[in-house]
Amino acid sequence: MESVGSIILYIVVALAMVVFSVLAVTTRKILRAATYLLFTLFAAACVYFMLDYEFLGAVQIAVYAGGIVVLFVFSILLTSRPGHNSERLSSKSRVLGSVAALAMLLISGYALVSRCALYAAKPALDTPTMQQVGQSMMSTGHGGYLLPFEAVSVLLLACIIGGVVIARKR
Amino acid sequence: MLLVPAMIMFCCGVYGFITRRNMIAILISLELMLNAVDINFAVFNRYLWPEATEGMFFTLFAIAIAAAETALAIAIIINLYRSAKNIDVRDLNKLKY
Amino acid sequence: MDATLPILILAIPLGMFLVLGLAGCKMSHKMAGVLGCLGMGTTLVLAYTTAFTYFFSGSPEFVNAAGERLQAVIFNHTWLAFTDKLVIRLGFLLDPISAMMLVVITTISFMVHLYSMGYMRDHHGVYERGFQRFYAFLSLFSFSMLGLVVATNIFQMYIFWELVGASSYLLIGFYYVKPSAVSASKKAFIVTRFADLGFLIGILILSYYTGTFNFTELTSAPVEGMADVFNVSETTALSVKSIFESSATPVFLGGSVLTWALVLIFMGGMGKSAMLPLHIWLPDAMEGPTPVSALIHAATMVVAGVYLVARLFPLYLMEVTALEFVTWVGAFTALYAAIVACTQIDIKRVLAFSTISQIAFMMVSLGVARPEFHHGLGYMASMFHLFTHAMFKALLFLGAGALIHAIGSNDYTAMHGLRKYMPVTHWTFLIGCLAIAGIIPFSGFFSKDEILSSCLGNSTFIYIWMSLVAGLTAFYMFRLYYLIFWWKEHKIPEGHHAPHDQPWTMSLPLVILAAISLVAGFIPFGKFVTWNGHPYDFMAHFDWSVAAVSLCVAIVAIVLATAMYRKENPLPDKFRAALPRLWEWAHHRFYWDELYLFITHKIIFDRICRPIAWFDRHIIDGTMDAFATVTHAASRAIRPLQSGQVQLYVWWYLLGALALGGITMLCLL
Amino acid sequence: MDYSQFLVMKQELAVLVVFLLVFLYDTFMPRGAGKALPAFTTVLLLLATAAGFCPDCLGSSCSAEAFAGMYATSPIISAIKNILNIGAVIVLIQSVSWAGSDDMRIRRGEFYELLLVTLFGMYLMISARHFLLFVIGLECASLPLAAMVAFDKSRYESNEAAVKYILTAVFSSAVFMMGLSFVYALGGSLYFSDLYLAMAGGGISLMLVLAIAFVIAGMGFKLSLVPFHLWTADVYQGAPTSVTSYLSVISKGSAAFAFLVIMAQVFGTCYAEVWEWMLYAIIIVTITVGNLFAMRQNNMKRFLAFSSISQAGYIMLGVIGFNTMSMAAMMYYILVYIFSNLAAFGVIGAIERATGKIDMSDYCGLSKTNPRLALCMMLAMFSLAGIPPFAGFFSKFFIFTGAINQGSVAIYVLVLIALINTIISLYYYLLVVKAMYINPDKPVVQPFKSTCSERLGLWITVAGILLLGLASCVYTWLLNTSFLSNFAAYLM
Amino acid sequence: MFSNILIWFVVIPLLMLAGLGLCRDVKQVRAVAVAGSTALIALSVKLLVDYLALRAAGDTAPMLFLGSWTWFAPLNINLAVGVDGISVAMILLSSIILFTGSFASWQVPQPKAFFLWLILLSTGVFGFFISIDLFTMFMFYEVALIPMYLLIGVWGTGRKEYSAMKLTLMLMGGSAFLMLGLIGIYYHSAPAGQPLTWNILEIVNNTIDPGWQRFLFPMTFVGFGVLGAMFPFHTWSPDGHACAPTAVSMLHAGVLMKLGGYGCFRVAIYLMPQAANELAWIFLILTGISVVYGAFSACVQTDLKYINAYSSVSHCGLVLFAILMLNTTAMTGAIMQMLSHGLMTALFFALIGMIYGRTHTRDITKMGGLMRIMPYLCVCYVIAGMASLGLPGLSGFVAEMTIFVGSFQHADMFHRVFTIVACCSIVITAVYILRVVGKLLFGPVYDKHHLELTDATWWERFSTVGLIVSVAAIGCFPNFFSNLIKFTFSPEIFKVLGM
């Protein structure tokens, strides 16, 4: 059985995730949505820490919170016009959205429950050290990620090229 | 256990995608969905298959991909904004039927 | 017998048809006419030679030691083999009736060829348009008719049966610009076609059960001792016979299958021979040129039905029911046609109905013939009547043609009192009338008397009935005679030529035929034609009482006609007033044509064809089109799916994925 | 740490080399030399393609694995890459005129770079035997495409199409990865070979079902299978024609093969229990819906979009048949489809470049003004409709034959439905022919002379349409190659 | 490969296509068309002679002039050719009609394109008749179908677009079923463990599982039956024929519809006799309906081509009807009916085209008395009509009689009763033929403008005479054709009849 502290932490993190993500998609102000997203991302980073994946948590904070959300904020500022920052949601789309979301939740939730125990204990494990992570990243053997690493670099390069082409004025 | 909030997060993303009109907001919803998937991978790795780190690495790469996606999407949206002065997704209806 | 002659008999008319048909338009009218006559004349000589050889040569091929006349197959060429046994052969069967028919056909045909040389041109000697075509068709008809009578198997007969129908169609519609001629030809063809359907089905049934088309096998089998006569080997005859015996058992709708087959085959005969109720085409067929009426619709083609029944007579003897059917159809037709003939005003129509009536006599005669009475006298009588009738009816038609040619109308009201202007026509016509009325010693007397005798041998009722009809015959023929040649005289209007007799090409046939009608009765017909080949001496069995009665009936009828029509008087009108309903019905031929029109137009066209065509266009085709319409509708209906809203796109996307997963999960649960 | 393993991926490397050369050329050559860039790229890629056909050079004649089974290649994989290469070359040839236009001057290099990266991504997809690599390949093949779709920056439609594309693409990849996470939960690994063993041993669970559904959805997006296809028409219509043609043939072809790989090598054991019927339903719906929409289109690109949706359904018959023969037939189908569709797009592109007309109604009387173009278009339509003696007939016939090889009655019914749908498809293909040859209206498009590259492209595609079927060696080669590959081991 | 005479039936049309491609003006096009079709006629006569010589020499193999060249080796698809009497007859028919059709379309607009498609069509036709490999057979079958769309669509008249589309879609719909059937046959073509085959001669040695036969037989029969204008899939025929140009109608009704009958026999019945025997009754009812129904429908039409199209429905119905009787005589009759109907319908359509070319109407209520104006054409029309209604001496009679006699030999009462029903069509045929002849050719001239029209030109005479001679040849010497065909059905070769 886990410690009370971790249970409390779990509850807090889970609540934060749920609440902020709900807020992020329901708030009318787009800038607030970005802010709630930021909180959700922090909560996710907390989850990674809880799972002992410190590196992952760090990356999450650095890339998402540090990069993507800032990008969002800039783009919001770029594209928003005065007096146009709040939007109305039609009830029809709300119904559609809830149907899809609930169906998704129900079906995949049922599938999950049927297979995995919700209250499984966390197996004891050494957290992967930075060195291990780095070695796997550069390895070519089983469990090595050199090829994906190279491939994703090509992907990022392509996205940069694409982004530049699209975003530049001419 | 941590899957529940992740799934809820995913569904929130779905809900947001379908209901929001602002494209940036839709992108935000997409981020939620991608994050939920990331969490899933991490949780599965940690709880079910702790002896290897495949899920964690997947998450790692997925974050990178998500960043690229977002950047490109924002570039396209801004470009659209330039020509249409509008980023309401409902107004993207010139191409239909 | 050498096959050359028979082949030539068929080949010459056919060749003449091809020559005149293909090259006719390149040659002069006269040339075509002369060529046609020459061809037919040659055929006539060949046919006479053949018949003579058959009857008088005494060759063992034709007559056996007992003096029985045999069936001889001169040649038999395989034309189309359906199976090993069912084979259509084109051959030449020589036996008493076919030899007799050769004579009849070639005689009348030659007369008509000759006659047409004069008839088919106007008063200034200008030939009619299509003269060559006319001769080509006449040759075609002669070919077909000759082929029909010499058929060795029932399918050959059917082939030529169709061909005579077609040539009759072409000749009736010779004046194709005249709508009435066109519709008459159409009617003739379709009505006979309908009858031929019965014939065909009859053939199918017969051949299915017996496994053969050959007349020799079909007709020899049923009757004991016929095998010898028909030159069929004993084993074949036995096998066919056994088939017959076993096939009599299947019963279909209350009659044995064989009865049905025979009745259906007789239906073909009813069509060609214009028996009730398939008679309606014959009066209309008078739209054709009169020589054609004389050849086809009086002498030859219309007796094909009689010939058919005669050809299959031994078979009919097997199924007396079928024979009784023949009798009653004939009896009713005879009476009906005679009554109608009394009221017609178109001379060719009168002759047409008289033809129907006379053919019905032949049918009745065949129907009442039984071996047990005078060795099948009826058969002989029927053939005899066929022969004499051909001669005198052709004579009457050709006479009528001469009148029409002179007057330019078919209507006797335009004639009256012509005896002075056209003496040759008058006398020959009178001979024809006397012959048909049955006055001794004209040929009709003898043949009709034999028919009445054989009727008496079968049943008194039929006898009385037929005697009555014979009386009616004399009455209407003399009514016609008087109305044409006596009644009241016409004033010839100024500037018009008086009607006059015709050129020799037309007169000569009349005279020849009149001569034949005068003497033909004295031919000892029984020596030549009997149903089983045994010679039969008619005079030895002559029944004077019957002869006297029939003569009396005829004379009474003639006297009555004389009283009514010799001079203009009110008697006919009084008669008409006394029986208005009967006269009205008879005048309208008992409304058969109207009935047929109703059936064909109102029922078949309007109630069957049109609905079917509508059904096809709207229901069947509509269903096919509906596939397209439904597809288009579906295409329109799912249009909102592609709304252009990206949010709805992902909604569908997600729902699709979840549905796939969810349904499978439900199935697995 | 054996870096020589990279050398196994010869074809990927070749494409990357081409990419780099183009990149360098574009960056460092003077402005004026940009005109030669299209030809430069085309020739380079052509060389790579030619080398790929030579087993000793770039193509592989035997199966090999690298990175501990993360990457695999085999004759059949090499073959499909070659096929894609050919298609890409043709697309490049056809786009020379468009890319050479002044409007494109500043973006010319980027177009080729992005295109080559997507090609690289597709190769990764095909060769990946690890889901991470697969996802990267997938993204690599779809994200730059979004940029390419938006290439006509001044045209609003292009932008709209790009937005729609990227939003649905990201959504789809999220769902796909969700499915992958389930798979991971079940199998504990992302290597295909490990997963296959885990699936074989693990039995069927509801989670697996959902995972497969999500994977199918993710791949269905790339393949534009109904109901994951809704982006297709809008994007095809909005994108520049060259991009559309690339999207409709190369992207689809690679995804089809990759899909087959996943279904066979990961989920092969639960074919009958789980995904056979899923695919069954999807094929029926895809073919039908695609056809129904295509019937009513006027815009030629949109029309071909729907036509390609229904063609994707036919391609899926090769997957559902799930045997070596059907797989070979599918490869063959893809090859023929590439040629037929590119012929159509070649004509569309030429006409659009010369006149700016893109509607079917504008094609009226084309046979009078531009008979050769009309003929090419007609051949393409006939080939797409499956009319002999054009290649489309053979590919259709073989894919049906391959599918029926599976043997169940249900597959007969499916093939019958597909066959009945060919009638609808024939209808709308004939509509194009009708517009060009039969409609009595005045011709809209005036006679014009097409450029050399356009003509070359059309000659190649028409030659393909005529010869691919009649020359049996192509199909025989593919079938033999399929049999050679160790791939067949996963199939029934 | 080219030493086999049969290959030339495909090669010559292909050469013609190439030649047409090089043509520059109308004269060259005509020259190529005439030269090619003459070569085809000569070749088919040579084939006939060679075939008879081999048969006379005692060769009793089911098919002669066999040849097989591997095409798609993995699927065992070969370009396999071979002919029996039926194929020889059909090839002869096709070449005659192609020949006369070329003359009938002497003055067609855009001749080059027209002949290109026409020759492509005939390539398919010839290829179909020489093939004994199901795949190539099917391929040629579809090759023959699709040019119809353009031929009708471009050169047709009236609602040509609608009709062309309908025709193409319906026929392709048929071939959809057919394709499934063929693939199914392929997978059951050999006992388990042995290599599968598309070759008809090999499949026939193996009895296809009866359960599968019951499924595949309707597929193939309906598939081919659509082209054979089987009720209720015949509705493409009236519209299609009505709108098609002359030569196309000729070729379509004359040859293409025969593909249906031929296929029904060669594939459906030949390969799946048990199912044919079991399921024949269903199709007998349908074809029996076709026969009578087509004839009744023809009675009230006013468009000449519609009349003929419905009459084709009736006559082609008879073909399928007879094939289903499964006995030698009826089947021989069916093939003869194909020959006969092919020739006389071609003649009909040629004449209708010629008349229409002059009067610019096909409505029989708007014409009349043409006999006076164009006697040659009208006499030919009467001859065609007579052939159609079954006048002895012309081809229709022999064919129909063979069918009726053959069908009536069936031991089952049901079949015999249906034969009688089918017999009724001869009367109805007479009705509609005579109706047309009476209204169109006879009677007074309806339209004074028609008086100025001219009679047939030399090429028109050429094409009609060719057809009339063929019709008369079959009608006069039926035994020759009957024997040619009948051999195929001899029980030792044709196992259905042995049942």
Q: Considering CB atoms only, which of C647, C648, C655 is closest to A103? A: C655
Residues of B within 8 A of A136 (CB-CB) are 53, 57
Cβ-Cβ contacts under 8 Å between D and E: the total is: 83
What tokens were used for D89? 């070359």
Provide the pLDDT for residue A1. 47
Please judge whether B90 and C645 are an interchain contact, meaning their C-beta atoms are less than 8 angstroms apart.
Answer: yes
Whether E421 contacts chain C with CB within 8 A = no
- CA-to-CA dists, residue C169 to C40, C110, C176, C285, E211, angstroms: 21, 20, 11, 9, 54
Whether D233 contacts chain C with CB within 8 A = yes
First-to-last C-alpha distance (Å) of chain B: 44
Count the Cβ atoms, other than its own, within 10 Å of residue C292. 29
Share of residues in chain A with pLDDT > 90 (%) = 41
Q: Considering CB atoms only, which of E165, E184, E187 is closest to D430? A: E165
* Most distant CA pair in chain C, distance: 115
Q: Considering CB atoms only, which of E166, E416, E442 is closest to C173? A: E442
CB C431 within 8 A of CB C395: yes
Q: Phi then psi for D128, rounded to 5 degrees?
A: -65, 135
What tokens were used for C504? 């020799």
pLDDT digits (tens, 9 = 90+) for C507-560: 888 888 888 888 888 888 878 888 877 777 777 667 778 888 888 988 999 898
Which residues lie below 8 Å from residue D442, measured CB to CB, with a gap of 6+?
Answer: D364, D365
CB E144 within 8 A of CB E227: no
Please judge whether B2 and A47 are an interchain contact, meaning their C-beta atoms are less than 8 angstroms apart.
Answer: yes
Q: Please give the Cα distance from C478 to C484 (Å, whole number).
A: 10
Q: Considering the domain boundaries, does residue B96 fall inside one? A: no
First-to-last C-alpha distance (Å) of chain D: 36
Residues of B within 8 A of D184 (CB-CB) are 41, 44-45, 49, 54-55, 58
How close is the nearest chain B Cα to the Cα of D52, in Å? 30
Q: Phi then psi for E408, rounded to 5 degrees?
A: -75, -15
Cβ-Cβ contacts under 8 Å between C and D: the total is: 85
Say if residue A126 is exposed, middle or buried (CB neighbours under 10 Å; 0-12, 13-18, 19+).
exposed
Query: With the C-alpha atoms ordered C403, C404, C408, C410, is the resulting torsion angle positive or negative?
Result: positive
Residues of A within 8 A of B54 (CB-CB) are 143
Name the band, by pLDDT with cuts 50, 70 and 90, for residue D228: very high
The closest alpha carbon to E323, from E240, E398, E390, E225, belongs to E225
With touching defined as 3+ CB pairs under 8 A, do chains E and B touch? Answer: no
Q: Please give the Cα distance from D269 to D281 (Å, whole number).
A: 19
Provide the pLDDT for residue D120. 95
Please judge whether B29 and A25 are an interchain contact, meaning their C-beta atoms are less than 8 angstroms apart.
Answer: yes
The closest alpha carbon to C358, from C254, C472, C238, belongs to C472
pLDDT digits (tens, 9 = 90+) for D401-413: 999 998 888 999 9
Query: With the C-alpha atoms ordered C206, C209, C212, C216, is the resulting torsion angle positive or negative?
Result: negative
Q: What is the helix, strand, coil percentage profile of chain D, to 5?
A: 80, 0, 20
How distant is the alpha carbon of residue C478 from its chain centre? Answer: 25
Name the band, by pLDDT with cuts 50, 70 and 90, for residue C55: confident
- CA-to-CA dists, residue C546 to C338, C433, C460, C549, D457, angstroms: 21, 21, 12, 5, 106
What is the arithmetic mean of pLDDT over C379-402?
89
Q: Please give the Cα distance from E326 to E399 (Å, whole number).
A: 16
Task: Tell which of A25, A93, A102, A105 to mutate to test the C interface (max C CBs under 10 Å).
Answer: A93
Domain that includes residue B25, residue range: 4-88
Task: Tell which of B92, B93, B96, B97 to mutate to test the D interface (max D CBs under 10 Å).
Answer: B92
Count the Cβ atoms, other than its own, within 10 Å of residue E460. 24
Q: Considering CB atoms only, which of E73, E154, E176 is closest to D438? A: E154
Q: Considering the domain boundaries, does residue B44 fall inside one? A: yes
What tokens were used for E261? 């009958």
Whether D228 contacts chain C with CB within 8 A = yes
The closest alpha carbon to C91, from C107, C80, C101, C106, belongs to C80
pLDDT digits (tens, 9 = 90+) for C328-355: 999 999 999 998 888 888 888 888 999 9
Whether residue A120 is predicted with pLDDT greater than 70 in this model: the reply is no
The closest alpha carbon to C354, from C480, C525, C473, belongs to C473
Q: Please give the Cα distance from E246 to E253 (Å, whole number).
A: 11
CB C565 within 8 A of CB C479: yes
Q: Considering the domain boundaries, does residue B23 fall inside one? A: yes
Residue D423 half-sphere exposure, CB side, CA atoms within 13 Å? 24
Q: Considering CB atoms only, which of C647, C651, C661 is closest to A107? A: C661
Whether D304 contacts chain A with CB within 8 A = no
Q: Considering CB atoms only, which of D209, D216, D231 is closest to C668? A: D209
Task: Tell which of A115, A145, A149, A157 to mutate to test the D interface (max D CBs under 10 Å).
Answer: A115
Residues of D within 8 A of C635 (CB-CB) are 292-293, 295-296
The closest alpha carbon to D157, from C195, E372, A48, B93, belongs to B93
Residues of A within 8 A of C658 (CB-CB) are 103-104, 107
Which residues lie below 8 Å from residue E9, measured CB to CB, with a gap of 6+?
Answer: E40, E43, E44, E91, E126, E127, E129, E130
The closest alpha carbon to C72, from C57, C83, C61, belongs to C61
How close is the nearest chain D Cα to the Cα of B91, in Å? 9
Q: Please give the Cα distance from E43 to E406 (Å, whole number).
A: 32
Whether E166 contacts chain D with CB within 8 A = no
pLDDT digits (tens, 9 = 90+) for E461-483: 888 999 999 999 999 999 999 98
Please judge whether C658 and A96 are an interchain contact, meaning their C-beta atoms are less than 8 angstroms apart.
Answer: no
E-strand spans in C145-292?
251-252, 255-256
Q: Considering CB atoms only, which of C638, C650, C653 is closest to D292? A: C638
Whether residue C66 is predicted with pLDDT greater than 80 in this model: the reply is no
Provide the pLDDT for residue D34. 78
Provide the pLDDT for residue A116. 66
What tokens were used for D300? 């030629």
How close is the nearest chain E Cα to the Cα of C203, in Å? 9
Whether residue A84 is predicted with pLDDT greater than 80 in this model: the reply is no
Q: Please give the Cα distance from D72 to D60 (Å, whole number).
A: 11
Provide the pLDDT for residue C246. 62
Q: Considering the domain boundaries, does residue B97 fall inside one? A: no
Position with higher pLDDT, D30 vs D243 = D243
Name the band, by pLDDT with cuts 50, 70 and 90, for residue D2: confident
Whether residue C249 is predicted with pLDDT greater than 60 in this model: the reply is no
How close is the nearest chain A Cα to the Cα of B52, in Å? 8
CB C362 within 8 A of CB C385: yes
Whether A146 contacts chain B with CB within 8 A = no
Averaged pLDDT of chain E: 89
Please judge whether D68 and A143 are an interchain contact, meaning their C-beta atoms are less than 8 angstroms apart.
Answer: yes
Task: Tell which of D419, D422, D480 to mutate to test the E interface (max E CBs under 10 Å).
Answer: D419
How close is the nearest chain B Cα to the Cα of C635, in Å? 10
pLDDT digits (tens, 9 = 90+) for D290-324: 999 999 999 999 999 999 999 999 999 999 988 88
With touching defined as 3+ CB pairs under 8 A, do chains D and C touch? Answer: yes
Provide the pLDDT for residue D135. 95
Among all chains, which residue has been given the structure tokens 């140009």? Answer: E245
Chains adjacent to B (≥3 CB pairs closer than 8 angstroms): A, C, D
Name the band, by pLDDT with cuts 50, 70 and 90, for residue E499: very low
Provide the pLDDT for residue D163. 93
Position with higher pLDDT, D18 vs D154 = D18
Report the complex ipTM: 0.93
Compute the CA torsion angle C415, C418, C423, C428 (nearest 10 deg): 50
Please state the domain count of chain B.
1
Residues of E within 8 A of D390 (CB-CB) are none
Strand partners, E83: E64
Whether D156 contacts chain B with CB within 8 A = yes
How close is the nearest chain C Cα to the Cα of D394, in Å? 27
- CA-to-CA dists, residue A27 to A68, A86, D33, E299, angstroms: 19, 9, 53, 77
**CATH number of the domain bearing residue B63:** 1.10.287.3510
Task: Tell which of D143, D154, D190 to mutate to test the A interface (max A CBs under 10 Å).
Answer: D143
Which residues lie below 8 Å from residue A99, measured CB to CB, with a gap of 6+?
Answer: none
Whether D189 contacts chain B with CB within 8 A = yes
Residues of C within 8 A of D209 (CB-CB) are 661, 664-665, 668
Q: Considering the domain boundaries, does residue B25 fall inside one? A: yes
CB E276 within 8 A of CB E324: yes
Position with higher pLDDT, D102 vs A116 = D102
Whether residue C247 is predicted with pLDDT greater than 70 in this model: the reply is no
pLDDT digits (tens, 9 = 90+) for C554-596: 899 989 888 888 877 777 778 778 888 887 887 888 888 888 8
Q: Considering the domain boundaries, does residue B19 fall inside one? A: yes
Whether residue D431 is predicted with pLDDT greater than 80 in this model: the reply is yes
Averaged pLDDT of chain C: 85
Residues of D within 8 A of A165 (CB-CB) are 107, 110, 114, 147, 151
Whether B60 contacts chain D with CB within 8 A = no
Whether residue E368 is predicted with pLDDT greater than 90 in this model: the reply is no
Whether E149 contacts chain D with CB within 8 A = yes
Q: Please give the Cα distance from A17 to E198 (Å, whole number).
A: 65
- The three-class DSSP label of residue D164 is helix
Whether D480 contacts chain E with CB within 8 A = yes
Whether D119 contacts chain E with CB within 8 A = no
Task: Tell which of C639, C641, C645 to mutate to test the B interface (max B CBs under 10 Å).
Answer: C645
Share of residues in chain E with pLDDT > 90 (%) = 49
Q: Considering the domain boundaries, does residue B94 fall inside one? A: no
Q: Considering the domain boundaries, does residue B93 fall inside one? A: no
Which chain A residue shows the shortest CA-CA distance from B59? Answer: A56
